Amino acid sequence: MEKTRCLIIGSGPAGYTAAIYAGRANLSPVLYCGLQTGGQLTQTTEVENFPGYPEGVDGNQMMTDIRQQAERFGADLRDGIITKVDFGKRPFTLTTDSGDIIEADSVIIATGASAKYLGLDDEKKYNGQGVSACATCDGFFYRKKTVAVVGGGDTACEEASYLAGLCKKVYMIVRKPYLRASDVMKKRVEENEKIEILYEHNTLGLYGENGVEGAHVVKRKGEADEERYDLPIDGFFLAIGHKPNTDVFKPWIDVDETGYIKTVDGTPRTNIEGVFAAGDCADPTYRQAIVAAGSGCKAALEAERYLAAKGL
């Protein structure tokens, strides 16, 4: 059995930044990359809003840069997924998908969240070519263009309002005959002349030669007056929610009703002393790389202080 002072789970901006700080503090951190090495940013093409890249940077390239920085300070980065944890005894024990067991004095959870998709093949086909799950990340590329936002909750209304500030026209594709969003958000989209809400609509697919040029939609699917038509758009934004990747920790760690890890008073501390959370797995609100990186820094600083206080 292997032993480490600091185990980091996840390899997005939060996990890698935690590894940089933990490495520089001589904690010799071990990091397991998880399902998607580099995290959600590897699914985007251009990242324009991360400080230090004035010309923008490819998402994969940026994550490679941060990874190399973590390796420079002695972080031990490994492929693999943590499939089981025991936070009931110290040191904590964690099991990988290949059956290895590791003991850790401190743990930083940075497993991120996964955007929910409709499940259409075209979403994969056009990923990064017109399909996005983050308006704040990608909206800028659609200035003065026409886009659609899928969803009827607060997130969808927020994304549609944000995009309306950039785009020529925003359609909201809403499955139900009403918006689920709060009254204030409903009012905001209903009163925005650039936003058109398509109630009782479903997306059947997307089309386009070199990227998204439109969506195949159906109104009142399955009803006598069902209507199918093509909606010309340049971008297709999903806003039907995110699922935090926290299932494996749920027997031990406090999470909210959606599964996001609850942290103590704005710190990365969880309900278990010595276990910290960073990035999108604990952030239902901002979901930005820069925020995740900052929280990874905080988690590593907290882990370092915790280990020092315990004499570990």
Residues noted as catalytic: 134, 137-138
How far apart are alpha carbons 104 and 122 in whole angstroms?
A: 42
Cβ(130)–Cβ(29) below 8 Å: no
How far apart are alpha carbons 194 and 23 in whole angstroms?
A: 49
Instruction: Write out the two tokens for 156.
Output: 């969808």
Which residues, other chains included, contact 232 with Cβ-Cβ below 8 Å and sequence gap of 6+?
146, 213, 214
Report the DSSP pairing between strands 201-207 and 195-198. Answer: unpaired
The label of the residue with tokens 């038509």 reads: 229
Helix (H/G/I), strand (E/B), else coil: 129: coil
How far apart are alpha carbons 113 and 111 in whole angstroms?
A: 7
